[in-house]
Amino acid sequence: MVPIQMVDLKRQYLKIKTEVDEAIADVVQNTSFINGKAVTDFSAALGQFLDIEHVVPCANGTDALQIAMMAVGLEPGDEVITPSFTYIATTEVMALLRLNPVFVDVDPKTFCIDPSKIRAAITPKTKAIVPVHLYGQSAPMEEIMAIAKEFGLFVIEDNAQAIGATIQFSDGTVHLTGTIGDIGCTSFFPSKNLGCFGDGGAIVTRNASLADKMRMIANHGQSKRYYHDLVGCNSRLDSIQAAVLNIKLRHLNQYNEARRQAADFYSKAFASNPKIVTPFIAKGNTHVFHQYTLILNDCNRDELVGQLAAVGIPAMIYYPVPAHRQNMFSFLNLPAVDLPVTDWLTHRVVSLPIHTELDQDQLNFIVDHVNAFTK
């Protein structure tokens, strides 16, 4: 059996090696390393894939979030509602911009921000909501957008884990994650569902003036060459990464489908295991399974992870410490924050290998061992 990895980037690359190698060689031949044709082509292709007008490529997903928050004019002391149960980047950029993250608990079934708890967190200082489509499933965007409209708040979607996921609203319309709020931010970190061969990111919006402003911010606040109107940063997607992404974007739907099939196999195999709660897919959502994350009942998680590791099955905890308990935020005086669901999940979740290259032998091996070690 092929050794099992959390993500098997090598085998994925080998399937598209010729195309990818040619695309990279082309950039090298042209030496158009920054803002080359590959970047323009990829931005257009991503806009088409997401059916959205404006795509601003940038250096990584963290920058995407930072640039988005800068573009909507958030100021020090403004409050931003966001989950604590997420990767640190979502909230780290808030601290960097001297914004105050207001952590709201998540839904124990979907792992995403619980809309019923957002209202109570709104104060006169609240300016934005940053939902995270955690593990590849949309946050409840219909409720979030309704609240944002009622209170005049910006919505910036952290779509780093869910590119290609959709949600259906009650009027029957289907929306791609990242295209619903004012701005969507994504990451092309290698292990993401659409990953490049280094760092990369993008910001998308339907709002032309926000797009212009984000383009400026990502380029030293420059309006025309050597004229700088805003304090910005230097955040570029380089041409080699864009060339790789151009090829991989063509396969994204198929990649997401492969992840869904692996997830479906897992969930069927664990359905009758009382120690395991398999991922819940909210009605109307298509999940793209950036992670396949279980909740363990009455089970020693460390022991399970150790037993799995001993037979060659990696398993990870995403994330062992929620944002509101990170030392980084000690300046915010957060002990009063009570997020029982976040804390509960933090102690019980475990993620199994999920990627585009899992074969049937590997899947059988994983489910047999997980079932054996948890029963």
Ligand X SMILES: *Cc1c(COP(=O)(O)O)cnc(C)c1O
Which spans of this chain sit near ligand X (rule: CB under 6 A)? Answer: 60-62, 86-87, 89-90, 132, 158, 160-161, 187, 189, 199, 201
Whether 319 and 89 have beta carbons less than 8 Å apart is answered as no
Min dist. Cβ of residue 341 to ligand X (A):
18
**What 8-state DSSP symbol labels residue 76?**
T
Among residues 115 and 131, whose Cβ is nearest to ligand X? 131
- On the CB side of 124, how many CA atoms lie within 13 Å of its CA? 0
| CB of 130 vs ligand X, minimal distance in Å | 10
Measured from the CB atom, is 12 or 362 closer to ligand X? Answer: 12
**Contacting residues for 60 by C-beta, under 8 A, at least 6 apart:** 187, 188, 189, 199, 200, 201, 235
Q: Is the CB of 86 or the CB of 205 nearer to ligand X?
A: 86
State how far the Cα of 191 lies from the Cα of 130, in Å rounded to an integer.
22
Nearer to ligand X, 256 or 362 (CB): 256
Indicate the residue among 201 and 353 with the shorter CB distance to ligand X.
201
CB of 112 to ligand X, least distance (A): 11
CA 220 to chain CA mean position, Å: 26
What letter would DSSP give residue 219? B
Q: In terms of Cα–Cα distance, which of 271, 201, 206, 208 is closest to 235?
A: 201
CB of 196 vs ligand X, minimal distance in Å: 10
Cβ at position 90, least distance to ligand X in Å = 5
Dist. CA 266–CA 234, nearest whole Å: 42
Residue placing its CB nearer to ligand X in the complex, 135 or 373: 135
Residue 99 C-beta: closest distance to ligand X, Å? 16
Which residues, 6 or more positions from 259, have their beta carbon under 8 angstroms from its beta carbon? 136, 193, 288, 289, 290, 292, 354, 355, 356
Residue closer to ligand X by CB (options 160, 167) is 160
Angle of CA points 95, 289, 116, to nearest 5°: 55
Q: Which is nearer to ligand X, 12 or 91 (CB)?
A: 91
- Cα separation, 361 vs 346, in Å, equals 30
- Closest residue to ligand X, judged by C-beta, is 61
Chain mean position to CA 253? 16
What SS3 class is residue 270? helix
From the CB of 64, what's the least distance to ligand X, in Å? 7
Query: Residue 131 Cβ, how far from ligand X at the closest point, in Å?
Result: 10
- Rounded to the nearest whole angstrom, what is the least distance from the CB of residue 134 to ligand X in the complex? 7
Rounded to a whole number of angstroms, the CA Rg of the chain reads 21
Answer whether 87's CB lies under 8 Å from 319's CB. Answer: yes
Which is nearer to ligand X, 237 or 315 (by Cβ)?
Answer: 237
Residue 265 structure tokens: 């196999």
Nearest to 93 by CA among 115, 55, 128, 64: 64
